[in-house]
Amino acid sequence: MFPAWMNTLLLWMAFGFLLIMGALCIMLLIKMWTNQIDLSTLLDEANGDASMSRFQLLVFSLVVAVGVFLFILKNMTLPDIPQSILTLLGISASTYAAGKGISFSRPEGVTKPSNKGSATPPAAAGEQQPEQHVG
């Protein structure tokens, strides 16, 4: 199909690409290991609550990615991904996007509660808080 020199060139380009991608992955893992990249809020909404839609999208994407990776390692070819898997990935991403839109459409979805766990309720609108003197 291709001349021998072109097959060799493509092979070297593929190895170069894999080398660069591997180096980037190692750099990313090192930054995560040394806490230069903070993953503590990976599954949090803007208000600090846990997000089920983010969790679903993350887990489902990882399952599909690992499955494709293992298939490629075993067969050394790209798999035919069934239409149903792609549909489920799209539904999962749409659920995440809809949840994000709903969360940002309400003020309580964006702002973090300031008195989480405190016994005294916040003052009603227009009502002034009594001044406290430290003395």
pLDDT digits (tens, 9 = 90+) for 60-118: 999 999 999 899 888 988 899 999 999 999 998 998 888 888 777 777 666 666 655 55
Domain that holds residue 3: 1-38
Report yes or no on 11 lying in a domain.
Answer: yes
Report yes or no on 120 lying in a domain.
Answer: no
Read out DSSP for 67-92? HHHHHHHHHSS-----HHHHHHHHHH
Chain mean pLDDT for the chain: 81
Q: What is residue 130's predicted lDDT score, i.e. its pLDDT?
A: 54
Residue 25 shares a structural domain with residue 48: no
DSSP 44: B
Instruction: Provide the number of structural domains found in the chain.
Output: 2
Residue 61 shares a structural domain with residue 90: yes
Residue 9 shares a structural domain with residue 24: yes
Q: What is the pTM of this model?
A: 0.57
Residue 92 shares a structural domain with residue 68: yes
Residue 47 shares a structural domain with residue 32: no
Report yes or no on 24 lying in a domain.
Answer: yes
Residue 51 shares a structural domain with residue 31: no
Look-up of token digits 């003052």: 123
Report yes or no on 122 lying in a domain.
Answer: no
Angle between the 52-75 and 83-105 helix axes, to the nearest 10 degrees? Answer: 160
Strand partners, 44: 50
Residue 135 is encoded by which pair of tokens?
A: 């003395």
Res 119 pLDDT > 60: no
Res 28 pLDDT > 60: yes
Q: What is residue 98's predicted lDDT score, i.e. its pLDDT?
A: 87
Q: What is residue 110's predicted lDDT score, i.e. its pLDDT?
A: 65
Q: What is residue 115's predicted lDDT score, i.e. its pLDDT?
A: 57
CA atoms of 40 and 48, how far apart (whole Å)? 11
Res 45 pLDDT > 80: no
- Residue 124 in contact with residue 60, Cβ under 8 Å? no
Q: What is residue 47's predicted lDDT score, i.e. its pLDDT?
A: 74
Q: What residues contact residue 127 under an 8 Å CB cut-off, 6+ apart?
A: none
Q: What is residue 2's predicted lDDT score, i.e. its pLDDT?
A: 74
Residue 84 shares a structural domain with residue 46: yes
Residue 32 shares a structural domain with residue 47: no
Report yes or no on 58 lying in a domain.
Answer: yes
